[in-house]
Amino acid sequence: MSDHIVSAYSEELERLSAEIMKMGGISETMIVDATRALSANDLELAKEVVLRDPLVDAIEADAERQIVSLIARRQPMGHDLRMILSAMKISSELERIADLAKNIAKRAQRLDENVNDEMRNAIVRMSKPVSRQLNNVLNAYASASADKAKAVWESDDDIDNHYNSVFREMLTYLVEDPRRISAGAHMLFMAKNLERIGDHCTNIAEFVYYQVIGDYLSELERPKQDQV
Amino acid sequence: MDTGQGTAMIDDSLTLPRAAEAAPRIDCRNIKVYYGQAQAIHDVSMTFPDRAVTALIGPSGCGKSTFLRCLNRMNDTIENCRVEGEILMDGENINDADIDPVLLRSRVGMVFQKPNPFPKSIYDNIAYGPRIHGLANGREDLDAIVEKSLRRAGLWEEVKDRLTAPGTSLSGGQQQRLCIARAIAVQPEVILMDEPCSALDPIATARIEELIDELRNRYCIVIVTHSMQQAARVSQRTAFFHLGHVVELGDTNQIFTNPREKRTEDYITGRFG
């Protein structure tokens, strides 16, 4: 898209979009590092991940201030308006994602010695499609691609299936040895957090689609196998 | 809570026709306007629904004012200006030879950029049209028309105690409302507004916009404005003109949130090169 006649306006929009990408980047590495910390039982890394969350909160607050100022001073129209509204929504989705990643890192520090490698691996396995989903939706945002956004939106089902299988797997470990219940409860929450992150990615995909196309992805079309 | 009233309000909103579906008050077909050899409007066809505000937007020189002036034959007054095509009101072509432009202009009133009250009293500014068109039977009737017109224009309370004062003694915003009252006084069907707020401050502008919103319940209103925010605020439909063509015509909401044409998008977002 060509530049605005008022170049400062274009710069402000670019800055906003850069903030979103920065939040996305930090959130993505938080998920990756939180699960790495879990996998390697690296408590230092887990602590460090928790400390990154306030940074994401601060960027969100800053993005919101920019958005208020843009609306008040520029009275955005058309694609600019949709971009700004999407940025507002996407930044709060990313803030939630960072929160959930932080929560995984917190729980990784509270596991006792009864947790086994299979349990850790189940979460790590599930984290891969989730961080891929976040990576894909951030790519869709960066390249303003409605097709990529739609692809993300359609593939959330995969994560839901992962979640259900992790849930069942976890239950078998708990049934085998009730001493694992404390750690297992934490890990079920981790799985749930990852599943929620997947949902937030789907929401982001909807906002990217709206920003680019100006229409809403209809909830009706979305493939959904599991009714739980 | 009075539930009966609530239901009535809901019913109102349901029966109110959507702008795009309302019956057209004016139907323009293949309008072409020439100033000498230069063509200012290229084959524009569009309709204007009753009881709705249509905004014409576009950069300077795009033909929006020229097009607006076709609707009450104001272009007749410009030498070597030629209008082709049909403009139908109630099935009649307003450009037909047997249409009296003076009568037409009482049916299609106009408000201009700069308030232009007659150099007469406030009362006579309003009474002038009804008098020459013979719309009033005697003084009492005329008084009633003057009061009703001033009330509809939202000016009555401010001027009722000084109706004999000159129209030019009012503030700019009041003068513009006086001109709107003057247009209303001859019972028009259509009100054309050519940049009616560009000489007014934001408060006077807000008053005019509030007035436009009220007048919409009775008239077909067409407004030319340079302020896209104003078009977005007051209109239900918006047409984007560029180089004498209508690039896009649509629901105002759609035009300003999701225009279909790139040229519209570029213009409304301030990207016009």
CATH code 3.40.50.300 for B22-118+188-268: yes
Helix and strand totals (H; E) in chain A: 7, 0
Nearest to B257 among A1, A5, A214 (CB): A214
Judge: A77–B268 Cβ closer than 8 Å, yes or no: yes
Determine the structural domain holding residue A184 and report its residue range. Answer: 7-221
Give pLDDT, residue A2.
Answer: 75
Nearest to A82 among B228, B257, B271 (CB): B257
Establish if A98 belongs to a structural domain: yes
Angle, CA B21 vertex, CA B16 and CA B26 arms, to 5°:
110
- What DSSP line would sit under chain B, residue for residue? --HHHHHHHHHHHHHSPPTTTSPEEEEEEEEEEEETTEEEEEEEEEEEETTSEEEEE-STTSSHHHHHHHTTTGGGGSTTEEEEEEEEETTEETTSTTS-HHHHHHHEEEE-SS----SSBHHHHHHHHHHHTT--SHHHHHHHHHHHHHHHTT-HHHHTT-TTSBGGGS-HHHHHHHHHHHHHHT--SEEEEESTTTTS-HHHHHHHHHHHHHHTTTSEEEEE-S-HHHHHHH-SEEEEEETTEEEEEEEHHHHHHS-SSHHHHHHHTT---
- Tell me the residues of chain B between 209 and 228 that have a Cβ less than 8 Å away from chain A: 228
Judge: B258–A2 Cβ closer than 8 Å, yes or no: no
Establish if A94 belongs to a structural domain: yes
Give pLDDT, residue B91.
Answer: 86
As for how many domains chain A has, the answer is 1
Q: Average pLDDT in the A109-113 region?
A: 94
Over residues B236-247, the pLDDT tens digits come to 999 999 999 999
Q: What is the CATH number of the domain that holds A129?
A: 1.20.58.220
Over residues A2-24, the pLDDT tens digits come to 789 999 999 999 999 999 999 99
* Helices assigned H by DSSP within A41-155: 43-74, 78-108, 117-142, 146-154
**Which of A11, A79, A209 to mutate: most B Cβ within 10 Å?**
A79
Over residues A201-213, the pLDDT tens digits come to 999 999 999 999 9
Establish if A165 belongs to a structural domain: yes
Give pLDDT, residue B8.
Answer: 36
Minimum Cα–Cα distance from A80: chain B residue: B269
**Which of A77, A80, A211 to mutate: most B Cβ within 10 Å?**
A77
Judge: A77–B232 Cβ closer than 8 Å, yes or no: yes
User: Which residue has tokens 């939630």?
Assistant: A96
From residue A130, give the alpha-carbon distance in Å to each of A95, A101, A153, A201, B273.
16, 11, 12, 9, 43
Residue A112: DSSP 8-state: -
Report which residue type is found at B239: A
Over residues A42-86, the pLDDT tens digits come to 999 999 999 999 999 999 999 999 999 999 999 999 999 999 999
